[in-house]
Amino acid sequence: MKTYLDNNATTRMAPEVLDAMMPFFNDQYGNPSSFHTFGSALTEDIEIARQQVADLIGAFPSEIIFTSGGTESDNTALFYGIGADSGKPGLVTSVVEHPAVLETAGYLEQAGHPLGLVKVKSSGCVNMDSLEEQVTPNTGLVSIMKANNETGVIMPIREAAEIAHRAGALFHTDAVQAVGKIPVDVKVEGIDLLSLSAHKFHGPKGVGALYIRKGLKLNPFMHGGHQESGMRSGTYNIAGIVGLGKAAEMARYFIAEEALKTSYLLEKLESGILKECPGAVIVGASAERLPNTATVLFTGVESEAVLTLIDLSGICVSSGSACSTGSKDPSYVLTSMGISVTDANTAIRFSLSMYTSDQEIDYVLEVLPPIIEKLRKISPYTV
């Protein structure tokens, strides 16, 4: 029995999304940038998708630029957001950001942009006092994620944006893990730039979007054509864009329903683990979290051993971000919260979706406790 609980890495594509995309692999294969109507007629499909994405986050269609996904959107926001005001070269971000933000920030620091790193509380939430300290009159861009991909902790984005704006800085949020799971409104929350990715909410891989607030002038970040108002050149991924639009439309209508279902199943999973696996700890339990995400410390048991055995039972989970797979280092997100290296190496992340079933949760609660008990018996650590 395959039990997939790694939806923060990627989600199953909704059948409705695949159905919407299929015509553009077959009959409607034209290039939207062509002069002839066989291609140019597809521009309407792109604009429908742009409206669907805009509606999901409370934006205007003209503020949506299609990209290849979250990493491109994050890189673009940082590279060109920081250059919007040459007199304010400073960049501020948090220590728990996704590598697409942190590694880009490190590159920009080497290129001469002062970098401020904001600490987090033991709950995993951004420390607002630390943010106030890091943002200075020299700061041109602040980037704080909407929700953490490992812990699911939701950040106080509106307050963070207000701090950035008081200093005359732009505000970007990596909302890749939040969009489609919880309501996001760029106008209400004061967001200037926002990154999202289709495959995190039942859309296709390889397509995403960058929201750029109306009136904000950024330099083009891909050259060679006129697409996306000259901001992002290249032949349109028409099937992917249509898939993103359909996924956004579905998320908009079903976000409350999915949140209710996943939060119920997550509570069932967490309570079952705490009952059946003594010594287990839910990371960020005191913070507001995504309704689908739980990272659990199985103290005394290395996560690599748990992942190996649980995978043999057909259960798909992770020990952190998919982008960090293969790293021997403990999660920097967890150690930034004050969790010891030893305990950080016992972390398992469970992330659910609208396709997760009661039966899958029951199966995990049947298979997991004996594995933890077995490993603890041979572990050199005590609980």
Question: Which of 49-63, 129-143, 245-259, 327-341 is the least confident region?
Answer: 327-341
pLDDT score at 72: 95
pLDDT score at 223: 75
pLDDT score at 380: 62
Span 79-102, average pLDDT: 93
Catalytic residue (one of 125, 277, 316, 323): 323
Span 69-80, average pLDDT: 95
| pLDDT score of 217 more than 90 | no
Q: What is the pLDDT of residues 266-315, one digit of tens each?
A: 999 999 999 999 999 999 999 999 999 999 999 999 999 999 999 999 99
Catalytic site residue 323?
A: yes
Span 46-61, average pLDDT: 98
Look at 297 and 28; give whichever has higher pLDDT.
297
Domain with CATH 3.90.1150.10 in the chain: 3-9+256-378
pLDDT score at 30: 81
Domain with CATH 3.40.640.10 in the chain: 15-251
User: Which CATH entry fits the domain spanning 15-251: 3.40.640.10, 3.40.50.920, 3.40.190.10, 1.10.540.10?
Assistant: 3.40.640.10
CA–CA distance, 294 with 297 (Å, rounded to integer): 10
Span 189-210, average pLDDT: 98
Span 94-112, average pLDDT: 97
pLDDT score at 28: 85
| pLDDT score of 101 more than 90 | yes
Contact 172, 195 (CB under 8 A): yes
3-state secondary structure the chain: CCEECECCCCCCCCHHHHHHHHHHCCCCCCCCCCCCHHHHCCHHHHHHHHHHHHHHHCCCHHHEEEECCHHHHHHHHHHHHCCCCCCCCEEEEECCCCHHHHHHHHHHHHCCCCEEEECECCCCCECHHHHHHHCCCCEEEEECCCECCCCCEECCHHHHHHHHHHCCCEEEEECCCCECCECCCCCCCCCCEEEEEHHHHCCCCCCEEEEECCCCCCCCCECCCCCHHHCECCCCCHHHHHHHHHHHHHHHHHHHHHHHHHHHHHHHHHHHHHHHCCCEEECCCCCCECCCEEEEEECCCCHHHHHHHHHHCCEECECCCHHHCCCCCCCHHHHHCCCCHHHHCCEEEEECCCCCCHHHHHHHHHHHHHHHHHHHHHCCCCC
> Which tokens belong to 306?
């748990």
| pLDDT score of 1 more than 90 | no
Question: Which of 50-54, 156-160, 226-230, 284-288 is the least confident region?
Answer: 226-230
pLDDT score at 13: 98
Q: What is the pLDDT of residues 329-355, one digit of tens each?
A: 889 999 999 999 999 999 999 999 999
| pLDDT score of 321 more than 90 | no
pLDDT score at 320: 64
The verdict on domain 3-9+256-378 having CATH code 3.40.50.300 is no
pLDDT band at 328 (very low <50, low <70, confident <90, very high): low
Span 167-192, average pLDDT: 98
| pLDDT score of 201 more than 60 | yes
pLDDT score at 381: 59
pLDDT band at 140 (very low <50, low <70, confident <90, very high): very high
Q: What is the mean pLDDT of the chain?
A: 93
pLDDT-above-70 percentage for the chain: 96
